[in-house]
Amino acid sequence: MKVVVFGLGYVGFTASCCIASEGHHVVGIDVSEGKVRAILSGKAPIVEPGVDDLLTKGLAEGRISAATAIGDHLLDADLAIVCVGTPSAPDGGHNMTYIADVSRQIARAIEGRKGAPLTVAYRSTIRPGSIEELIQPIFHAVLGDRTDTLASLVYNPEFLREGLAVKDYFAPPKIVIGTADGQPNPQMTALNANIAAPTFITGYREAEFTKFADNTWHAVKVAYANELGRVCLALGISSKAVHEIFVSDTKLNISAYYMRPGGAFGGSCLPKDVRALQHIGADAGVNLPLVENLIRSNDAHKHSIYAHATAGLKPGAKVLLAGLAFKAATDDLRESPNVDLARKLLAQGYALEIFDPAIDASKLVGANLGYAYTQLPAIERLLVTKAHAESAAYDRVIAANATIKGLTLRPDAPVLNIAELP
């Protein structure tokens, strides 16, 4: 394929060298004359292990070239890859100037194109909606009704780590490709033919948001590890030993467990221990802003769940809450977010009934008993049998946990599963 890469920084230049090494012809476009001259003379414009050798080989084989202007390079290209910068704007968002400029240039450069549409893949980090709300309108403004016959827009985020970028290009953690219809793009398929990685073909917005989900999660991990490290330092604990133990747990700690958006956290352990770690940090004179905001974040999520669960419900509506304990098939009500939800539903005047076969109010003991009757004094009259729940008519059935799986509800039952937020 002939591939034209826009932006020859860390991402664009590395990609250019790697793509050329696979036998494709690559033309790099950058506004910097210095970068272009350096590349053409065999000097990499960045410091990155492995790119120098790839550049030397690519130039020797005639597979790499560079220019400051598009010219007619796009008329016979198979693929264009956009890697221009999206620096922070004063308001904290992304400055999309370079994206807009290069999109306009590409659209104008393909006006005379014949044959198949040019696949234009954006790798720059852009906010969700950018392709549909910014980039597509730019192409339509230039090309009008011919847009779809001249250009096929793709969002393809990169996952390269500086210092390991060449290795990461050929062995990425995943490949994400966002298209207009959520279907594969032939040029992207060809580009990645030799790369073995989990591949996700999705819509534009999901692909665009993936990069933010990833990078922010990495930031959270770093901040959390450093907060734990500060506590360890203050208490004379070996953070190395704690880290070794922590990361050894790939069942819960370093895994997909707990990572699916859904219900708030609760139960007898998590809220209690988060508060205790806050106290330990404060007692040791250690500031833990991330940990200290976990409870606030959880409370905000509880409110969001309530708003979602009651959206469109009329005052006094009859509601069935399926699941009261924080986990199905248990009777542990301590700090269950579902108890909070039940309390809010009652406070707002909804006609609430609760189905949870694991809970028998007469058998609750100890702290569980105390919490239940403190937070939900009417628990005994609210609990209903399976037969009642299955036969009664409700304005809404709220599935709070997996308890809902034990019910065979009426076909017209309006079920809303709060563990599957839209």
Domain boundary assignment for the chain: 2-206, 299-417
Most confident of 183-192, 258-267, 324-333: 183-192
Give CA–CA dist 354/322, Å, rounded. 6
List of residues 6+ apart from 412 with CB closer than 8 A: none
User: Catalytic site residue 269?
Assistant: yes
In 244-317, DSSP assigns E strands to: none
The percentage of the chain sitting over the pLDDT mark of 70, rounded to a whole number, equals: 100
**Stronger pLDDT, 263 or 24, i.e. the higher one:** 24
Task: Single out the catalytic residue among 17, 18, 232, 269.
Answer: 269
* pLDDT in the model for residue 422: 56
Question: For 264-267, which contacts have Cβ atoms below 8 Å and span 24 or more sequence positions?
Answer: 264/298, 264/301, 264/302, 264/305, 264/337, 265/298, 265/337, 266/326, 266/334, 266/335, 266/336, 266/337, 266/338, 266/340, 267/326, 267/327, 267/332, 267/334, 267/335, 267/336
In 85-203, DSSP assigns E strands to: 118-122, 151-155, 175-178, 199-202
pLDDT tens string 373-408: 999 999 999 999 999 999 999 999 999 999 999 999
* pLDDT in the model for residue 260: 87
DSSP state for residue 94 in the 8-state scheme: B
Task: Assign 29 to helix, strand or coil.
Answer: strand
* pLDDT in the model for residue 401: 92
Q: Given this chain, do its domains 2-206 and 299-417 carry the same CATH topology?
A: yes
pTM above 0.85, yes or no: yes
312: how many CB neighbours lie within 10 A of its CB? 9
List of residues 6+ apart from 214 with CB closer than 8 A: 159
Phi, psi angle pair for 153, to nearest 5°: -85, 140
Mean pLDDT of the region 58-81: 98
**Are the beta carbons of 63 and 41 closer than 8 angstroms?**
no
* pLDDT in the model for residue 419: 74
CA nearest to 336, candidates 347, 346, 324, 318: 324
**Fold adopted by 2-206:** Rossmann fold (3.40.50)
Helices (H) and strands (E) in the chain, counts: 18, 12
What is the CATH number assigned to the segment(s) 299-417?
3.40.50.720
The percentage of the chain sitting over the pLDDT mark of 90, rounded to a whole number, equals: 96
pLDDT higher than threshold 90 for residue 315: yes
Residue appearing with tokens 């969001």 = 304
Least confident of 30-34, 255-259, 355-359, 418-422: 418-422
pLDDT tens string 329-378: 999 999 999 999 999 999 999 999 999 999 999 999 999 999 999 999 99
pLDDT tens string 157-192: 999 999 999 999 999 999 999 999 999 999 999 999
* pLDDT in the model for residue 418: 87
Banded pLDDT at 420 (limits 50, 70, 90)? confident
pLDDT higher than threshold 80 for residue 14: yes
Mean pLDDT of the region 136-140: 98
**Are the beta carbons of 294 and 275 closer than 8 angstroms?**
no
- Triad 343, 347, 350: Cα angle to 5°: 95
> 352: which strand partners?
319
Mean pLDDT of the chain: 96
Of the chain, the end-to-end C-alpha distance in Å amounts to 40
* pLDDT in the model for residue 421: 62
